[in-house]
Structure 1
Amino acid sequence: MNDESVKVSKEEEEEYVLMDLDDVSRHIDIPPDAPYTLSGLDTLNPILTIDGKIKLVGEYLETIGTCLAFSDKEVAAAENQTPRKTVEPVAKIHKILKFRLALDNEDGETRATTL
């Protein structure tokens, strides 16, 4: 064994979360290019603030079975053929983060409402 330093690589475990805005998007219009801030991911109820105006409270739901996320992209075809799409797996989803609107009450605390 020589005196060279040994590098120990620590692999960080990645965890993917699906942000579910379906219940919220039925009631409010969320612009597709609006800036957002997601805070408190390590808490039970993360907060999503969209465009500095819309405040949402999240709740984690465990996935049942294996939940996968895919991306599709158009593949260029030959001159006489129509373009085709390919679908590739992107990630395995571990949790779903379901959001609902948050309302501020008189005490300044945030309380979530169910839609």
Structure 2
Amino acid sequence: MNNEESGKVSKEEEEEEYVLMDLDDVSRHIDFPPDAPYTLSGLDTLNPILTIDGKIKLVGEYLETIGTCLAFSDKEVAAAENKTPGKTVQPVAKLHKILKFRLALDNDDGETKASNL
């Protein structure tokens, strides 16, 4: 008897994990366009790589959050007659990790390391 015959269908549960990308240290030293294309690779490694606009290479490091971080989204709400428009704020996700980025330096041996910026 297979799983379909017994009425039990095994499903793999997908677990979503949200990570906050912290670019504060880098944005103080480098200006990058807000609409620049980017590539994020190596999320399953200790030091993911973020390449912005094909020119700026950043190396990340995971930091655990203290307590629970919550991410919210806000939406404009249409105003009713004689009222001003407003915003609604809704929770999007719980965050357990922060991915803090620094400018990457490539060594002569091709290895990428974070700078001290």
Does TM-score exceed 0.5, indicating one fold?
yes
What's the offset of the Cα at 1:9? Answer: 5.1
Going from structure 1 to structure 2, the CA distance change for 1:47 and 1:7 (only over 3 Å counts) comes to: farther
SS at match of 2:47: coil
Going from structure 1 to structure 2, the CA distance change for 1:9 and 1:85 (only over 3 Å counts) comes to: farther
Q: Does 1:52 align with 2:45?
A: no
What's the offset of the Cα at 1:105? Answer: 2.5
Once the two structures are superposed, what CA deviation does each residue of 1:58-93 show, in whole Å capped at 9, x if it has no partner?
Answer: 000001101100001110011211001110000001
Once the two structures are superposed, what CA deviation does each residue of 1:93-115 show, in whole Å capped at 9, x if it has no partner?
Answer: 12100000001232322121121
* 5+ long unaligned stretches in structure 1: none
Going from structure 1 to structure 2, the CA distance change for 1:24 and 1:9 (only over 3 Å counts) comes to: farther
What's the offset of the Cα at 1:6? Answer: 3.6
What's the offset of the Cα at 1:3? Answer: 6.8
Q: Could you tell me the TM-score, scaled by structure 2's length?
A: 0.89
Partner of 2:6: 5
* C-alpha distance in 1 between matches for 2:36 and 2:8: 42
Query: What percentage of residue pairs aligned between the two structures are identical?
Result: 90
* 5+ long unaligned stretches in structure 2: none
Once the two structures are superposed, what CA deviation does each residue of 1:26-51 show, in whole Å capped at 9, x if it has no partner?
Answer: 11012111111111111000000111
